[in-house]
A and B are shown apart, each in its own frame.
Chain A
């Protein structure tokens, strides 16, 4: 019996270094590249005809575009337009990585905390820089809730600051933990099927079937949550209100 953690192992497919940096091509890299190629297929091949009446693939590309465009417009407003390609990329990258991770024997790059944390940290640092660039030191007023008595501020400002700095952690751990837990659960129940054999194995197998559906939903949902939270953080940085 394999460990349920084995599916998360990074395997080096091609060893090489850039300078002193280990840039080996791993199974994680492979599935990231596959995600990028498939996303490119949908969004570039799908839009090749630029038809006024879209075909199937073009409809999918437009659906994804409008989904995120509406999200940015509703949550950030017109000033968010500049950041729309980034948020679209973020959503599509996470979505494709998550969904491709549901393919048997594939690998889920987003099940590694270092990947999700890198993305969350980039969002966090980027949003903070945008906030300071737009508002200067006035950006710090984000930590001071309006219309609150001074005594309460002593309590609330530290809470606001802590919750602000927790953002990259909650953002990255939410995605990573969902992927990790879902895949582990599937593997564990897969183990149960083998253990209980032909007689009792059907129950965990049925569970796996249902749970796979739920996992697909979560794969989409976590990409959505990551994108919408990025929008909300961006909105805070641009509009300075909660």
Chain B
């Protein structure tokens, strides 16, 4: 910062001027004209005090106020942005929670519906099976009845055929009871 060239030059000039000032008239350096000191100092004080008052009363408060307001504005904007960011995050979280809840709910409903459906189906199947079983049993009973009737008819018919066949072959009516027993035994033997 201190330029050595300048310092040397200045030192030279100062010593030159000091020796010159010993003479009545300062020939070389106006800086050492003692008569100019008073006005310079008076006006230095006036100018410096004026500038100091301007700076300390007007400029410094104005600038520090502006800087503080700017800082506050930036801070409040940052805070608002941070808050908006947090709100968004909370909204996204709420949205995702609701979405997850809805998914869970839909799965539950599906499961319940499936369970209800299968229970209904089982019930209907059982009911149908019972109904069918009843009808099967009924039909079997009817079939058995009809077979018994048929069998009875068959025995009688066979007896009559045996009677008429015996009468034609023997030329005389057969002993009804003995023939009937024989026919019955024969029919039983073939039918089962």
A-side residues, CB < 8 A to B, are 5-6, 8-10, 12, 18, 21-26, 28-29, 32-33, 35-36, 39-40, 43-44, 47, 50-52, 54, 58, 61-62, 65-66, 84-86, 88-89, 92-93, 109, 111-115, 118-119, 173-174, 176-178, 180-182, 184, 218, 221, 225
Contacts and interface: CB of A to CB of B under 8 A. Distances in A.
Given A10-B39, A178-B3, 10 more contacts: A26-B39, A51-B66, A89-B56, A109-B40, A114-B31, A114-B36, A114-B37, A177-B9, A181-B5, A181-B10
Interface residues of B, number: 48
B33 A10 contact: yes
Contact of A92 (B41, B51, B64): B51
Contact of A182 (B1, B6, B13, B37): B6
A174 B8 CA distance: 11
B6 A177 contact: yes
Interface string B54-77: 111011101111110110010000
B3 to A, nearest CB: 7
B47 A181 contact: no
B33 A109 contact: no
Interface of A is mostly: helix
A93 B46 CA distance: 12
B36 A10 contact: yes
A47 B59 contact: yes
B7 interface: yes
B30 A62 contact: no
Contacts of A5: 28-30
B24 interface: no
Nearest to B42: A23
Which 3 A-B pairs rank lowest in CB-CB distance, beginning with the nearest? Answer: A177-B10, A29-B43, A43-B59
Contact of B51 (A8, A9, A40): A40
A182 B43 CA distance: 24
28 contacts: A10-B33, A25-B39, A26-B43, A28-B36, A28-B40, A32-B43, A32-B47, A33-B43, A50-B66, A52-B73, A61-B63, A66-B67, A85-B60, A86-B52, A88-B60, A93-B48, A93-B51, A113-B14, A114-B36, A114-B37, A173-B10, A177-B7, A178-B3, A178-B10, A180-B31, A181-B13, A221-B1, A225-B1
